[in-house]
Amino acid sequence: MRPLLLATILFLINLNAQETAFLPGMYVSSLCCDPKMDETWAGSFDGVYFFSGDEQRGHLSGPLFAGEENQLKVLSGGDLSSRFVTALALDEKYCYAGTDRSLDIVDRFSRKIVKKVPTSQVTSFLRLGHYIMFGTFDGLFFLDDQLNSRPISDLKEGLAFLDQEPTGALHFHESVRTIWIAPLRGGVIRVARNEHTKYLGNVKIRAISSYGDTTCFLAEDSLLLFNGFSWQRMRAKPFGSLPSSRVFSILGFRDSLFISSDTGAFRFDGVFFNPLHDEETLEHKFVRCFATDGHMLYMGTQRDGILSQKIQ
């Protein structure tokens, strides 16, 4: 048997060896993992959930509801500003929950909301050193040491034009020390060494991730790859190799890329898209977001909660 084929079979066997479902029936919009504290946090259209320690046994450790009267409320610091959580981020102390009307900051140890930052809908987060950047429908901002919202131009010189620019995806490509910003109007902006360059014209970018030295951009109907010098555009079948024209999320992991579409979830190794499912597991699950702690792959779905599979 050829080595590449054998490796692919072993990967799929290991990945499907353990599958656990959390929050069945729920739309999961965002996921974050903290391997050091053994926690996974999930944003949904019904508030924020977290898993601690028992996630591989499938136990929900504690829900944080935005809540209706008939729902459990456990946030002694007050409920979330909205039940519709659109983005999440973590640092050593806080969970940042972006909603359709504010940014709520939750103390990870007390589970209390310590601050609510009024804003338009939060689209994305980026942790940069000890700062948290966040994109909104009103522009790009960051939180200072006092957790106050400030325009991005106060942090990065030359970016005043983004202070009021509706902002979507954010990504920091660590291996090449580059920040990528996707305005909602289209295109992407590369920030490196205090210089910025715009690419891709008015192409609307849904998500950005990276693996190795390759930065990956998820457009409405294609996947774009940038190696620092040239661009490659991958379109959907039958004319291209992308599994579907409806692609929802991407996550760079080690030397490959996880990608989800309306036909299931796949692992892209730079050449092939290998399915992460059989016909009865992830196909048609509409995976909306990914996260990994290095051992487990978590997949937030549109109507089936969170699915997790072990990676070896």
Radius of gyration of the chain (CA): 19
d(CA 134, CA 142): 6
User: What is the token pair recorded at 217?
Assistant: 């951009």
Kindly indicate the confidence band of residue 65, based on its pLDDT and cuts at 50, 70 and 90. very low
- Name the 3-class secondary structure at 175: helix
Residue (of 264, 260, 222) closest to 240 by Cα position = 222
Place of tokens 């009021």: 164
**Average pLDDT for residues 212-231, to the nearest whole number?**
92
Q: Is the pLDDT of residue 22 over 60?
A: yes
pTM over 0.95, yes/no: no
pLDDT at 280: 53
Contact 208, 180 (CB under 8 A): yes
Residue with the larger pLDDT of the pair 110 and 34: 34
Residue 176 DSSP class? G
Least confident of 103-117, 120-134, 232-246: 232-246
Domains of the chain, earliest start first: 3-310 (2.130.10.10)
Q: What is the pLDDT of residues 131-154, one digit of tens each?
A: 999 999 999 999 999 999 999 999
User: What is the token pair recorded at 1?
Assistant: 């048997």
